[in-house]
Chains A and B, each alone.
Chain A
Amino acid sequence: MAYSDKVIDHYENPRNVGVLDKDESDVGTGMVGAPACGDVMRLQIKVGSDGVIEDAKFKTYGCGSAIASSSLLTEWVKGKTLDEASEIKNSEIAEELELPPVKVHCSVLAEDAIKAAVQDYKSKQAK
């Protein structure tokens, strides 16, 4: 499989790898995928009182495209409001990384991850 330069760049220099404390009230965690399917993404966001995402971290078990999709996503969501972040489409990620059709599911997973993280944050706030 030939990878685009962008996938290789994110894979070799992943941005924002790490962990945020999932028990903090201003942190939202989204974990999607399944080990049996070969990819698990965990995306975490830290949200400021103004509703803007201040920080984002990820860890991903998966192929190079899955790692790149989540790495790119952490860059994109920083500085966005929750609503803006939820509007990120998998097609935008796939396009930016020039993912081949068999790898589009990696970008779908990334979209699911940010939606899940936002959802987690919101449900914490509702409590």
Chain B
Amino acid sequence: MKTPIYFDYSATTPVDKRVAEKMCDCLTLEGNFGNPSSRSHPFGWAADEAVEQARKDVAALINANPKEIVWTSGATESDNLAIKGVAHFYHKKGKHIITSKTEHKAVLDTCRQLEREGYEVTYLDPQTNGLVDIDQLKAAIRDDTILVSIMHVNNEIGVINDITAIGEITRERGIIFHVDAAQSAGKIEIDMQKMKVDLLSLSAHKIYGPKGVGALFVRRKPRIRVEAQMHGGGHERGMRSGTLATHQIVGMGEAFRIAKEEMQQDNARIIKLRDRLFDGLKDIEEVYINGDMEHRVPHNINISFNYVEGESLMMALKDLAVSSGSACTSSSLEPSYVLRAIGRNDELAHSSIRFTLGRFTTEEEIDYAIKQIIDNITKLRELSPLWEMYKDGIDINAIQWAAH
């Protein structure tokens, strides 16, 4: 077993070797290096063919028409294109947008920008299990609401929103529905024939494809329009100009093709490992699972270890590559806004660790992680004045702390 062990598959995944091979075939003189827009020679034709095959593979995973796929540089760009694109195109219909407080920054900051441009945005409070409250969403809809943007799976706590139910509501009210599916594609079923989603953001690097490429699904029936954010040669039917990055796109296509084929067996294996990890940790005193355990992707577990600060825990767990909701790991010195939004107090947000497993995680790695965590929690709690107070029966919340 090699250390450090990677438990941060939601941050990014390694590129699958099968994907890397295909990508390498699209770079050099010997390979498929042409510009897919070159119509006048076989180099262009071959590149175009590879890009269109990838488009089919990406569409197939979400049961969409390949014509509904627009290549982008990643889910961040897809979110920007979807939200700004709709807001700008449909502004005469209204200027109100609904989203949630636990969205990725790519959605939240895009909405903030639109607020500066004069749009109004409602940020829904999630329930304590991390899920959007459908009734609250319904109640927030106004006559001038043009767009609802809700993520499928949350990147920090892995909870799955009921986008099928939300789609029914938005479609009935004639509101466009955007879903950030960066964390759900390849992990749970996405079916654009069944789900009334109008725009869907995808990223390659969360599912064993390369970084720097993604896609936006733009529904054709009923037809959804977006104003381009990138102008130029009119690629992607004018929605996103720029020479298509053949190797990146081919990589994304292959990653999505593999995901469609192997998702079920991957999930079956990963959920066993996740449960093994959970079982190994759940008996530690004062541990809290963040987010709903039932409506959750198989590979995520997010735990707060009370009275231990997250960054010091990560430092102790130096053989485990994990991420934390602790302020100390962010440049803003604010603890995770997602954990705060679901009602976790600052202490629990500070002491949270996210483990995300993936295709290459092994049982041996899980067992090693459990031992490391238990040993280090014990060590750090011996160092923690808060743990001592807790053990002495002192109510920490009753103390007047001087905030600094």
Contact = CB atoms under 8 A, between A and B. Distances in A.
Interface string A29-49: 001111111111110000000
A94 B15 CA distance: 40
Contact of A34 (B308, B333, B387, B401): B401
Please classify how large the interface on chain B is, using the bins under 10, 10 to 19, 20 to 34, 35 or more. 20 to 34
A59 B388 contact: yes
A13 to B, nearest CB: 11
A43 to B, nearest CB: 10
B309 A34 contact: no
Nearest to B346: A36
B190 to A, nearest CB: 36
Contact of B385 (A8, A31, A102): A31
Interface of A (DSSP majority class): mixed
A121 interface: no
A38 B396 CA distance: 13
B336 to A, nearest CB: 12
Interface of B (DSSP majority class): helix
Interface residues of A, number: 30
A11 to B, nearest CB: 6
A64 B345 contact: no
B373 interface: no
Contacts of A38: 309-311, 326-328, 335, 346, 350
B385 A40 contact: yes
Given A3-B315, A35-B347, A59 B401 contact: no
Given A38-B311, A105-B404, 19 more contacts: A1-B328, A3-B315, A8-B315, A11-B312, A11-B315, A34-B402, A34-B404, A35-B347, A37-B327, A37-B404, A38-B327, A40-B385, A59-B384, A61-B386, A62-B309, A63-B315, A64-B312, A67-B312, A102-B331
Which A-B residue pairs are the 9 nearest by beta carbons?
A: A34-B401, A36-B346, A63-B311, A59-B385, A42-B385, A64-B315, A38-B350, A61-B384, A63-B328
